Amino acid sequence: MSAISVRDLRKSYGAYEALRGISFEIQEGEVFGLLGPNGAGKTTTIEILEGYRTRDGGDIDVLGFDPERAGSAFRERIGVVLQHSQLWPNLTVAETHRMFAGYYEHPRNVDEVIALVGLDEKRTARVKTLSGGQKRRLDLGVALVGDPDLVFLDEPTTGFDPAARRAAWDMIRSLRSLGKTILLTTHYLDEAEQLADRLAVLRGGVIIREGTPSELTSGSSETEIRYRKDGQEVVIRTSEPTRLLQHLTAEAVAEGRELEGLSVRRPTLEDVYLSLTAEHQE
Amino acid sequence: MKLLRHQVKWEQRLFWRSRESAVFVFLFPILLFALLTAVYNGHIYGRPASWALLAGMIGYGTANTAFAGLAITLVSRREIGILKRIRATPLPPAVYLTAVLVSIMIVFAIQVASLFALGRVLKSTPWPSHLLSLVPALALGVAAFAALGLAITAFIRSLEGSSAVLNVIVLPMAFLTGSFGPTRHYPKVLRAIGDVLPLKYLLDLINGIYLQGQQLWDKPTAVAVLGGWGLFGMAVALRTFRWEPREG
Ligand SMILES: Nc1ncnc2c1ncn2[C@@H]1O[C@H](COP(=O)(O)OP(=O)(O)OP(=O)(O)O)[C@@H](O)[C@H]1O
Ligand SMILES: [Mg+2]
């Protein structure tokens, strides 16, 4: 079953075409990552799926609803972390969760959610006293309090310290293991690689690549070999690393010298991403 | 209904916890009344000055609470994205706005009761007699000003300027329509301006009922004009109300 299906989605702001006909499907229980540089159209896509923005063309189906027309029944089932939003500065963490819990038919236990996002120690702290990353965790907690089937996360870990990011990853994995569907945008390639079952790379309102993280990295067959020769850094990209390496090492052995600082590297998602997004730059 | 009760409870908590709303919206008219009754003596509209000032301050309080207070609350929530975030929950927008309104009415009811009690203590002003006229008159006033408050949010772009803008509207309006004392001696132009403002008609109602012992139905024109302003506000709000900050 697909939780989200998008066909030929289009959206313009005035004369500017932010989405130029994108299509993708997200299966139930899948973690789907949307990548792309600033202004690519990630937030536009996610907010159309959440029901905030109207589309100019295309068909979308989210949990069987058309978000543009859906009401409370749809919102019972989704959880939302917006790219930018704040909550009431004068409420405490626990109060904020309780307030939101009251909007849902079957909310999760508030204390459990607070523990899940790691705000236990801040239960009774006013929201205005939280740090940036703690506020973001609050956004995350509030998105989960309604026990949603589908969670939209627009750059959920921006501002997290490395430990908090790992914790958020664990949390997203545990959501996934509960069978939740997650649509996630991020600028952290390692995050996308760690979390997403499938990824789409968006650029200029078009999806330029889609697949599992390993499909994306293996799609580009180049391997990078680096070493130093006479103090100069040599970088070679090749699709035949075995042959080239044998040649290089044989030569070095014959001349009795060392291939200093030798490294052989598969391209990371980041390399692929950077070359992809640069390629499509007009 | 359960959702409405839930939201009203939280709106109340939010209101009283914010120093800005508790002081400027709730306390300010009460303080102003204490000050004005201390300096004014004699008679206004043939009654002791404190009676008329009490009526005037209830009128001012309506505009300050239901119009300015409501607008500031909504603009600040809109600009930081709270209104947008709420829209992603199952709480229906109409229930949310109703709860905000009910909460404002609760605050206003406490404010009016405090004004009467304070008047009683300071100047032995009488309790109101025609409650069956006064309560609906005030309810109409709150509704009309709240509608106008909803309407004006669309014209306030940022949080920073909002309380200045609203005070620039509310204070002169209160002055021109006689909240702080009679307008008989004002220049004609100023009186003419005062005559079109909604607060003038609310004050007419309150003065008539509290000072002259009249009933709501003795003042059909005032009821109609006030109601008309309310409908106008509602119509504008329905067209222009935004849940998201401008840049989307
Ligand atoms: N409300 C709006 N009005 C006009 N243009 C907009 C609006 N929202 C977005 N845009 C434009 O549409 C394009 C896509 O914006 P969007 O916010 O979807 O990008 P994004 O991929 O989320 O970027 P980021 O990584 O910076 O969050 C941008 O060029 C942006 O300027
Ligand atoms: Mg974005």
Q: Ligand 1 within 6 A of A11 CB?
A: no
pLDDT in tens, B66-97: 999 999 999 999 999 999 999 999 999 999 99
Confidence of residue A281 (pLDDT cuts 50, 70, 90): low
Distance from CA of A72 to the nearest CA of B (A): 4
Is A180 a member of any domain? yes
Q: Flag whether pLDDT at A147 surpasses 60.
A: yes
Q: Flag whether pLDDT at B56 surpasses 80.
A: yes
- For chain A, the domain total comes to 2
* Residue B89 at interface with chain A, using a CB cutoff of 8 Å: yes
Higher pLDDT, A278 or A256: A256
Is A207 a member of any domain? yes
Residue whose CB lies within 8 A of the most ligand 1 atoms, among A9, A12, A13, for a mutation test: A13
Q: Flag whether pLDDT at B182 surpasses 90.
A: no
Contact A103 B80 (CB under 8 A): no
Query: How far is it, in rounded angstroms, from Cα B193 to Cα B196?
Result: 6
Collect all residues of chain B within an 8 Å Cβ-Cβ radius of residue A73.
Answer: 90
Confidence of residue A54 (pLDDT cuts 50, 70, 90): very high
Q: Please tell me the distance between residue A42's alpha carbon and the centre of ligand 1 in angstroms.
A: 8
Distance from CA of A78 to the nearest CA of B (A): 8
Q: Flag whether pLDDT at A148 surpasses 90.
A: yes
Judge if A207 and A140 occupy the same domain.
yes
pLDDT for position B248: 45
Instruction: Count CB-CB contacts under 10 A for residue B29.
Output: 27
Is B150 a member of any domain? yes
pLDDT in tens, A150-206: 999 999 988 888 888 888 898 899 889 888 999 999 998 889 988 999 999 999 999
Contact pairs from chain A to chain B, CB under 8 Å: 61
Contact B91 A103 (CB under 8 A): yes
Judge if A256 and A126 occupy the same domain.
no
Is A171 a member of any domain? yes
* Nearest Cβ partner for A90 among B18, B87, B89: B18
Which residues form the domain of A103?
2-217
pLDDT in tens, B15-27: 999 988 888 899 9
Q: Give me the residues of A, 116-145, that contact B with CB < 8 A.
A: 142
Q: What would the 3-class secondary structure string for chain A be?
A: CEEEEEEEEEEEECCEEEEEEEEEEEECCCEEEEECCCCCCHHHHHHHHHCCCCCCEEEEEECCECCCCCCHHHHHCEEEECCCCCCCCCCEHHHHHHHHHCCCCCCCCHHHHHHHCCCHHHCCCEHHHCCHHHHHHHHHHHHHCCCCCEEEEECCCCCCCHHHHHHHHHHHHHHHHCCCEEEEECCCHHHHHHHCCEEEEEECCEEEEEECHHHHHHHCCCEEEEEEECCEEEEEEECCHHHHHHHHHHHHHHCCCCCEEEEEECCCHHHHHHHHHHHCCC
Judge if A120 and A157 occupy the same domain.
yes
Q: Please tell me the distance between residue A237's alpha carbon and the centre of ligand 1 in angstroms.
A: 35
Last residue of a domain, one of A200, A217, A234: A217
Chain CA centroid to CA B211, Å: 20
Contact A88 B14 (CB under 8 A): yes
pLDDT in tens, A269-278: 777 777 777 7
Distance from CA of B17 to the nearest CA of A (A): 7
Confidence of residue B231 (pLDDT cuts 50, 70, 90): very high
Is A46 a member of any domain? yes
* Residue A103 at interface with chain B, using a CB cutoff of 8 Å: yes
Q: What is the mean pLDDT of chain B?
A: 91
* Residue A18 at interface with chain B, using a CB cutoff of 8 Å: no
The mean pLDDT value for A13-36 works out to 95
Q: Percent of chain B scored above 90 by pLDDT? A: 67
pLDDT in tens, A87-104: 999 999 999 999 999 999
Q: Ligand 1 within 6 A of A42 CB?
A: yes
Q: Flag whether pLDDT at A218 surpasses 80.
A: no
Judge if A24 and A138 occupy the same domain.
yes
Ligand at minimal distance from the CA of A15 is: 1
Judge if A76 and A125 occupy the same domain.
yes
Judge if A175 and A66 occupy the same domain.
yes
ipTM score here? 0.89
Is A273 a member of any domain? no
Which residues form the domain of B153?
2-240
* Residue B82 at interface with chain A, using a CB cutoff of 8 Å: yes
Contact A105 B90 (CB under 8 A): yes
Judge if A205 and A239 occupy the same domain.
no
Is B247 a member of any domain? no
Q: Percent of chain A scored above 70 by pLDDT? A: 98
Residue whose CB lies within 8 A of the most ligand 1 atoms, among A20, A34, A44, for a mutation test: A44
Query: How far is it, in rounded angstroms, from Cα A143 to Cα A171?
Result: 13
Helix (H) or strand (E) holding B183: none
Q: Ligand 1 within 6 A of A39 CB?
A: yes
Question: The domain spanning residue A20 has which CATH number?
Answer: 3.40.50.300
* Residue B84 at interface with chain A, using a CB cutoff of 8 Å: yes
What are the angstrom distances between the C-alpha of B15 and each of A96, B11, B21, B24, B161?
14, 6, 6, 11, 20
Contact B85 A87 (CB under 8 A): yes
Ligand at minimal distance from the CA of A18 is: 1
Is A282 a member of any domain? no
> In angstroms, how far apart are the furthest CA atoms of chain A?
76
Is A229 a member of any domain? yes
Contact A52 B87 (CB under 8 A): yes
Judge if A159 and A241 occupy the same domain.
no
pTM of the model: 0.87
- For chain B, the domain total comes to 1
Judge if A95 and A227 occupy the same domain.
no
* Nearest Cβ partner for A76 among B14, B82, B90: B90
Instruction: Count CB-CB contacts under 10 A for residue A164.
Output: 18
The mean pLDDT value for A141-150 works out to 95
* Nearest Cβ partner for A75 among B10, B84, B89: B89
pLDDT for position A67: 95
Q: What is the mean pLDDT of chain A?
A: 90
Is B63 a member of any domain? yes
Is B245 a member of any domain? no
Q: Most B CBs within 10 Å: which of A88, A150, A153, as the mutation test of the B interface?
A: A88
Kindly report the protein residue whose alpha carbon is nearest to atom 4 of ligand 1.
A13
Q: Please tell me the distance between residue A57's alpha carbon and the centre of ligand 2 in angstroms.
A: 20
Q: Ligand 1 within 6 A of A186 CB?
A: no
Judge if A196 and A94 occupy the same domain.
yes
Contact A71 B6 (CB under 8 A): no
Judge if A148 and A74 occupy the same domain.
yes
What ligand 1 atom has the least distance to the C-alpha of A83?
Answer: 27
Is B131 a member of any domain? yes
Q: Ligand 1 within 6 A of A33 CB?
A: no
Judge if A120 and A172 occupy the same domain.
yes
Is A281 a member of any domain? no
pLDDT for position A280: 59
